[in-house]
């Protein structure tokens, strides 16, 4: 009898909680991943029946006005938006481990799977809603990884200022966080020059977007910044060559301008996603 009452209480509590969250414009959703709590911010669709789910992956700066503007825009236009919050990895470590860095490569995909499952459960969404992915810079890398490995669910992808050849990006990027990671990593490894560090990574880093992007079977768009030294333009062009042929937009701007294009072009992105629903 007590067990039955407890189960009834839990069901009622969960239902009430889910109903409350469905009424919120946005809320944080926690999941447990490898024993650690990770979170995403969920932006509810303003349509009663959402037409799709958008996974919007942030830049290395975290959830900035860039992501918030886009999340609100797509929520107003019929999408439930999942914004995975930043998580700690080897780039943040005081004593980076390159082997662990390699193992973390597919974490954006594995987290996306958990966030999708929990979002569908909490918001009681229809099964098999189309999934789309959007991101710039670090978010572009992670969007590419998600779309490549979650290819049976994803219907469209748009990313900006992402590239391939991680060894040269980690060795040459002017992003402060990546440059600081490089120096800590060189110290741990006892390596003095950037070239020796790049050579070391070429031997020990196995995972790279160029190795998986051919798995993308759906329409996607890549935006390349032609004056980029954060994710060097050369690396972005290499990604274009490694992936299936697609629409490529080249902008005469640097990294920030290329990344901001996800906002300045969000109406074009929306139209592109809507085309994949027809």
218 found inside a domain: yes
pLDDT-derived band at 21 (thresholds 50, 70, 90) equals low
Rounded Cα gap, residues 45 and 41, in angstroms: 13
State whether residue 81 is helix, strand or coil. Answer: strand
* Closest CA relative to residue 224, chosen from 214, 211, 238, 210: 238
State whether residue 131 is helix, strand or coil. Answer: strand
**Could you report the per-residue pLDDT of 142-175, keeping only the tens digit for each?**
999 999 999 889 999 999 999 999 999 999 999 9
185 found inside a domain: no
Residue 19 has what pLDDT?
47
Which CATH number belongs to the domain containing residue 268 in this structure?
3.40.50.1820
Q: How many domains does the chain have?
A: 1
Contact 163, 205 (CB under 8 A): no
131-136 vs 154-160, strand pairing mode: parallel
Q: What is the reported pTM?
A: 0.90
Residue 128 has what pLDDT?
85
pLDDT-derived band at 239 (thresholds 50, 70, 90) equals very high
Largest distance between two CA atoms of the chain = 70
36 found inside a domain: yes
70 found inside a domain: yes
Is residue 264 scored above 80 in pLDDT? yes
Residue 64: domain span: 20-96+105-164+209-277
Q: From the CB of residue 42, how many other CB atoms can be counted at a distance below 10 Å? A: 24
Is residue 3 scored above 80 in pLDDT? no
């Amino acid at each position: 009898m007590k067990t039955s009452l407890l189960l009834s209480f839990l069901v009622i509590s969960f239902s009430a909680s889910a109903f409350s969250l469905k009424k919120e414009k946005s809320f944080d959703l926690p999941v447990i991943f490898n024993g650690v709590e990770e979170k995403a911010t969920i932006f509810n669709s303003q349509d009663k029946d959402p037409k799709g789910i958008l996974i919007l992956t942030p830049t290395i700066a975290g959830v900035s006005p860039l992501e918030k503007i886009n999340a609100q825009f797509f929520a107003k236009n019929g999408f439930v938006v999942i914004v995975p919050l930043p998580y700690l990895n080897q780039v943040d470590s005081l004593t980076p481990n390159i082997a662990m860095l390699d193992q973390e490569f597919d974490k954006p995909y594995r987290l996306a799977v958990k966030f999708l499952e929990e979002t569908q459960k909490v918001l009681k969404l229809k099964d098999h809603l189309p999934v789309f992915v959007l991101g710039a810079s670090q978010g572009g890398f992670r969007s590419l990884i998600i779309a490549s490995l979650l290819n049976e669910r994803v219907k469209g992808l748009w990313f900006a200022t992402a590239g391939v050849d991680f060894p040269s990006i980690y060795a040459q990027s002017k992003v402060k966080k990546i440059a600081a990671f490089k120096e800590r990593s060189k110290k741990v490894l006892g390596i003095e020059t950037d070239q020796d560090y790049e050579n070391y990574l070429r031997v020990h880093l196995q995972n790279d977007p160029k190795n998986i992007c051919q798995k993308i079977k759906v329409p996607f768009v890549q935006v390349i910044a032609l004056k980029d030294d954060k994710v060097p333009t050369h690396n972005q062009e290499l990604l274009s060559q490694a992936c299936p042929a697609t629409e490529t937009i080249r902008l005469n701007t640097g990294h920030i301008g290329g990344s901001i294009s996800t906002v300045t072009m969000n109406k074009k992105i929306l139209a592109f996603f809507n085309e994949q629903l027809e």
